[in-house]
Amino acid sequence: MKQRTIAKQVELVGIGLHKGVPVKMVLEPMPAGSGVIFNRSDLGVDIPLERTHVIDTTMATTLGSHSNPQARISTVEHLLSAISAYGIDNLKIRVDNEEIPIMDGSAIAHCMLLDEAGIAELEAPKPFMRITKEVGVEEGPKFVKISPDSSLSFDFGIDFSHPAIDKQHYRFTFSRHAYKEQIAKARTFGFLQEVNYLRSIGLAKGGSLNNCIVLDEHGIVNKEGLRYEEEFVRHKILDAMGDLAFLGMSVVGAYQAYMGSHKLNAQLVQKVLESRAYEIVYLTPAKSSEQTQSLEMVHAYH
């Protein structure tokens, strides 16, 4: 398999979920070996997609520049989830403010933008990170972990003391087609009683029924209801896929979580990289079908 970028430049404009300000986002193709690079176009600062640039995981994953403390970009996880699902290795993401547009609170708008851009294969082999030993992090009863497997899968459980959520569990074996059908449309969610607090600390200023599932004490406030029966836990998988993008390449392994969070995901990424619990492999499709996603190892090195 070869490295990927997008075939043409595309852009959109939307509101940031937490800051509530308009943001213009432009996606640009990049050559092989460039990686994914965020850019604050209003400040002229690049922020590479690297775990050392994760500066906050409160309610969202936020990146920051080492050289310019003003250069922050928040709520990157939904876009990164879609980029990861499309197997894009090289991309520049320009934004003129400090947050990725929230759109409808899911990743489907980002998928549509990538569909509009198209995928371009580059003349360089595509590396995969194959997990070689189980790594996990815990916080009380909460945990996230990743284990060796022959494919990429997500097994997530949540338990909220709310009648509309309660206990939910979802297992997802990755393919791009399955991602778009089962995961990408799942929206972020929040509790009405927390809104005033979040806004007091500068968050959720752009949140509305158009970009978030809102829950009061009794149920779901959104008149249209849910898109999936397990939309809450499916969105947690969407987030996890975006957070795992900080591993730096497409992953082959089994992710499992109970009440996982951006914070725990960031810790997991750091632990995988520090413990060298992986090998880099180059894979080739066993079949051409995109839905099949069956892979055959060519060679590997630690």
Residues 242 and 106 in one domain: no
Q: Tell me the CATH number at 198.
A: 3.30.1700.10
**Neighbouring residues of 22: CB distance < 8 A, sequence distance ≥ 6:** 13, 14, 15, 16, 97
Last residue of one domain, picked from the residues 124, 145, 161: 124
Residues 188 and 285 in one domain: yes
Report the 3 state secondary structure along 5-29. EECCCEEEEEECCCCCCEEEEEEEE
- Predicted TM-score (pTM) of this structure: 0.93
In which element (H, E) is residue 82 found? helix 77-85
Residues 90 and 188 in one domain: no
CA distance linking residue 206 with residue 273, whole number of Å: 34
Query: Residue 264: how many CB atoms within 10 A of its CB?
Result: 23
Question: What are the two backbone dihedrals, phi and then psi, of residue 272, each rounded to the nearest 5 degrees?
Answer: -60, -45
302 is known to lie in a ligand binding site: no
Residues 110 and 184 in one domain: no
The residue written with tokens 């489907």 in the block is 108
The residue written with tokens 């986002």 in the block is 25
Domain count, the chain: 2
Is the pLDDT at 230 greater than 60? The verdict is yes
165-211 pLDDT tens trace = 999 999 999 999 999 999 999 999 988 888 777 778 777 788 889 99
In this structure, are residues 236 and 243 in contact, taking their beta carbons and an 8 Å threshold? no
53 is known to lie in a ligand binding site: no
Residues 150 and 117 in one domain: no
117-136 pLDDT tens trace = 999 999 999 999 999 999 99
Is the pLDDT at 6 greater than 50? The verdict is yes
235 is known to lie in a ligand binding site: yes
Residues 95 and 134 in one domain: no
AA identity, residue 7 = A
DSSP string covering 94-163: EESSSB---TTSSSHHHHHHHHHH-EEEEEEEPEEEEE-S-EEEEETTEEEEEE--SSEEEEEEEEESST
Domain that holds residue 24: 2-124
In this structure, are residues 2 and 124 in contact, taking their beta carbons and an 8 Å threshold? yes
Residues 144 and 118 in one domain: no
Residues 37 and 133 in one domain: no
**What pLDDT does 286 receive?**
57
Q: Tell me the CATH number at 30.
A: 3.30.230.20
Dihedral sign, Cα of residue 171, residue 290, residue 269, residue 197: negative
Question: What are the two backbone dihedrals, phi and then psi, of residue 81, each rounded to the nearest 5 degrees?
Answer: -60, -45
Residues designated catalytic:
262
Residues 48 and 79 in one domain: yes
Residues 156 and 267 in one domain: yes
pLDDT bin (cut points 50, 70, 90) of residue 293 is very low
pLDDT bin (cut points 50, 70, 90) of residue 287 is low
AA identity, residue 290 = E
CA distance linking residue 35 with residue 33, whole number of Å: 6
